[in-house]
Amino acid sequence: MNALARLLAHPGIWRGRSLTRIDTLSSGFPELDARLAGGGWPKVGLVEILATHLGSGELRLLLPLLAAVSQQPQARWCTWIAPPLSPYAPALAARGVNLSRILVVRAPQGPQWAPEWATEQALISGACDVVLTWITQPLKPRIVRRLQLATQRGRTLAFLLRPWSSRVAREPSHALLRLGVEPQSHGNRSGMRLSILKSRGGATGEWWVDLEAAQAAAGV
């Protein structure tokens, strides 16, 4: 029994549902935390977020994490790669994000510009805590796998933000987690429908998130 416990404590071994060993960061959304393995976002790894529209709530979903990470005393960069629009500094600052840790990588479309390359550079540099990458074009599973491996090298949490098409949803995923986000208002409250499509070691599910309440709870 003792030997078995020791064996199970080995960092290379993970068990289906009780991934208690991984380091996690709270997502700031209790319902999401409850379903994720370890009770939050993994500290290292690749997470895919599929959104039906730009502005579905995917960024507000990540805000509590960005605020918490960027305010750590030894925070590394939070790098945004190929954001579709300009991130608005006053709004980020107002929700507790430390702007001095934010780095934005945006380049005009051209042969040199490949968000995947920039993402990999950011991941392996070891200089980033969080990397957010917006990719609209189809991604080969091989590349997703490669990025997932790169997160291990730099000890980084990476988010791939992709459009939620039926094609993408059918693709196998090499990410630790795959979430789907769809905008949905209930009455006068703006919110989103959040689905966990894949979760290594966690539960799947689908529920409505009141983003206004979340924002109010964050003290804004």
Partner 1 sequence: MAAAASLQLPLAVSPAGSPPPVGPPGDQPGQHQRVPALPQLWLGVHLPQPDRALLQRLAVLAQRFTPRVSLEPPDGLVLEVQGSLALFGGAAQLYRAFRAGCHAASAAPVLTLAPTPLAALAGARSGVAFKVLDQQHLVSAVSVLPLVALRWPPQLLQRLAKLGVYRVGQALRLPRAGFARRFGREPLQMLDQLVARSADLRAPFRVPERFRAKRQFVREREDHAQILQALQPLLKQLGEFLEARQCGITRLTCRLRHRNDLHTDCVIRLAQPEAAAARFLEWFAERLARISLPGPVRSLELRSGELLSRAPVHESLWQPGEHGGGGAAGSLPGSLEFIERLRMRLGELAVHGLICQDSHCPEGASRALSPADPDFRHVAFSSRAQVKTQAPARPLWLLDEPQLLREQQGWPQLDGPLQLRHGPERIESQWWEGHGVARDYYHATDVHGIAVWVFRERQPPHRWFLHGLSG
Using CB under 8 A, which of 168, 184, 197, 210 touches partner 1?
184
Q: What is the DSSP letter of 9?
A: T
- Residue 45 CB contacts under 8 Å (≥ 6 apart), including other chains: 148, 151, 152, 157, 158, 175, 176, 177
Q: Measured from the CB of residue 14, what is the shortest distance to partner 1 in angstroms?
A: 25
x/- map, 120-149, partner 1, by CB under 8 A: -xx--xxxx---------------------
Please give the residues from 39 up to 98 whose contact with partner 1 meets the rule CB under 8 A.
52-60, 63, 70-71, 73-77, 83-94, 96-98
Q: Distance between CA atoms of 54 and 41, rounded to whole angstroms?
A: 22
179 residue type, one letter: L
Cα separation, 21 vs 12, in Å, equals 10
List phi, psi (to 5°) of 145.
Answer: -65, -40
Nearer to partner 1, 140 or 153 (CB): 153
Q: How many Cα atoms within 13 Å fall on the side-chain side of residue 188?
A: 0
Q: Is 203 in the site for partner 1 (CB under 8 A)?
A: no
Match 């959104």 to its residue by tokens: 51
Smallest distance, partner 1 to C-beta of residue 4, A: 33
Q: Which residues pair with 164 in a beta bridge?
A: none
Number of chain residues interacting with partner 1 (CB under 8 A) = 63
Q: Which of 101, 162, 174, 178 binds partner 1 (CB under 8 A)?
A: 101
Which spans of this chain sit near partner 1 (rule: CB under 8 A)?
52-60, 63, 70-71, 73-77, 83-94, 96-107, 112-113, 117-118, 121-122, 125-128, 182-185, 188, 190-192, 211, 215, 219-220
